[in-house]
Amino acid sequence: MDLLVGMKAVYSHRVSIALLVSGVISMGVALAWFYIGQPLLNHLQQSTIYPAGIPWLQNEQECSASGRTWEDDTCWDAEHDPNF
């Protein structure tokens, strides 16, 4: 009987250690994501904005009235979002 109680205590102790180790590893992964992964993802999402030609604005007056730039017979939008 004492052997059975001792085995349960050892098993219970091993399970507790396994849960503790799992928790520590999970926290390490979460902290690594917070300090490394998230800033890296933000950096990758900050892409350079390039001007885009606006084909439906056919003349300089329409282009200027919309707040864009007319150059080389094309209306350019310098604030174009590349994710659009």
Kindly state whether residues 54 and 36 are assigned to the same domain. Answer: no
Same domain, 31 and 2: yes
Query: What predicted TM-score, i.e. pTM, was given to this entire model?
Result: 0.41
- 40: domain range? 1-46
| 1 shares a domain with 37 | yes
CB distance 54 to 84 below 8 Å: no
Candidate ranges 3-7, 14-18, 77-81; pick with highest mean pLDDT: 14-18
> 34 and 23 in one domain?
yes
pLDDT at position 46 is: 62
As for how many domains the chain has, the answer is 2
Distance CA 60, CA 80 (A): 18
Question: pLDDT of 10-68, one tens digit each?
Answer: 667 788 888 899 999 999 888 877 777 777 777 666 666 778 899 999 999 999 999 99
Dig out the tokens for 50 from the structure.
Answer: 């390039």
Predicted pLDDT of residue 58: 92
If one counts every other C-beta atom within 10 angstroms of the C-beta of residue 68, the result is 22
Other C-beta atoms closer than 10 Å to the C-beta of 63 total 19
